[in-house]
Amino acid sequence: MKTLIKNCHLISPDLDIEKAAVLIDGKFIAGVYTDGETLPPADNTVDAEGKMVVPGFIDVHCHGRSGYDFTDAIQEGMNAIGIDKLKEGVTTLLPTTLTLPEEQLKPAMKTVAEYVKQGVKGSRIAGVHLEGPYINSKCCGAQNPAFVRSPDIDEVKRLDAISKVAKVSFAIEVAGGYAFVRDLLAAGITPSCVHSSATYADFKKANALGLKNLSHFCNQMTPLHHRDIGLVGAGLLHDEVFIELICDKVHISPDMIKLIFKIKGPEKIMLITDAMCAAGLKDGEYNLGGLPVIVNDGAARLASNGALAGSTLLFYKGLKNIYEITGMPLKELIKTTSWNQARSLGLDNLGKIEPGFYADILILNDDFSPEKVFVDGEIRL
């Protein structure tokens, strides 16, 4: 089955082409055509009407949506999250866990495995992101301190046997943290640091072992200081390090977002939502890993102490925010929505609109909301 998307304003990493066309053959992109070229025949034709056509978004850090959390271990909830993330333009997803006991994580992993087995017509699952439980108990944020424990590669492997683990976010400075970096890489899992009080010296040790990711950058990590640049300084200084950003203008101020993009550039920045169950819903009272949360004006905070408890950000709004804040060209900013995520995880053929890449494609409205969503060449929204 061949599908032709015509009249595109094509935006892909380092590409911005008006009046372009994209040919999809099965699950893959077969060709990109510029204005004036003869367009190939196709079984179906979609007129983009001059709208932006971009690679599908990859959200590598998302706890839930639509009233559900992945760790609820409810199959209906897992399926709803995967389907509803399409409304944000997310075509590939890493369901993200919380700091919980293994006996609660296992059934959550099973719902992810069942989602994949069922072939649910939602976002593609590229693996699970374990955020915690191997964090610094002094830097819990909205994670439950009752379930914090030391790094345990055997536990990770047990969870991975249920459903693929793609990424683990943890505190590198805790006992066993450095060996854990090596163990994760040996298992083909991306290590990332967060909920951490690591010094810059700690970071350099872990970086030498292969750590090249920092999760929800600036939040729950050592800040930049003139005597020890900490994890924030490390993320800015080291060009090889990928950093996640929650660009909801709550977790990070617009001025800080602008500064990060000016210093770091878009080559290693990854937009994320870090969304919790209230994403897509109204303000009110919710729950995160057993902790009561109040959402007011879209900001989710723990009822107990007011600490930020994930976000309610919809992915496409993050792209809109950084476009308005930085003023950078979209062909540069679009790297932060999927191409960088794919590279950070070693996902092949995702994140660009080029021949040979998966046909995960969005047609966006002027406000960046998805008009149409293709996953594996199939229209799913």
User: Catalytic site residue 43?
Assistant: no
| Sequence-ordered list of residues with C-beta below 8 angstroms from that of 103, at least 6 positions apart, any chain | none
Chain centroid to Cα 352, Å, comes to 16
Q: 15-25 and 284-288 as β-strands: parallel, antiparallel, unpaired?
A: unpaired
338: tokens are 């999927």
Which of 35, 274, 283, 366 is flagged as catalytic? 274
d(CA 311, CA 35): 41
Q: Which residues of 202-218 are buried (b: 16+ CB within 10 A; e: fewer)?
A: bbebbbebebbbbbbbb
**How big is the CA angle at 59 (ends 65 and 2), to the nearest 5 degrees?**
105
Contact 333, 323 (CB under 8 A): yes
Contact 127, 156 (CB under 8 A): no
Q: Amino acid identity, residue 46? A: V
Identify the CA nearest to 360 among candidates 40, 45, 125, 140: 125
State the greatest distance between any 2 C-alpha atoms of the chain, in Å, as a whole number: 63
Contact 271, 318 (CB under 8 A): yes
Q: 64-65 and 90-95 as β-strands: parallel, antiparallel, unpaired?
A: unpaired
**How big is the CA angle at 59 (ends 347 and 357), to the nearest 5 degrees?**
35
Identify the CA nearest to 25 among candidates 378, 380, 339: 378
At residue 280, the 3 state secondary structure works out as coil
d(CA 275, CA 279): 6
Q: Could you tell me where the DSSP H helices lie in the chain? A: 75-84, 102-118, 153-162, 177-186, 200-209, 230-237, 254-264, 315-326, 330-333, 339-345
- The verdict on whether omega for the bond into residue 101 sits within 30 degrees of 0, i.e. cis, is no
Active site residues: 274
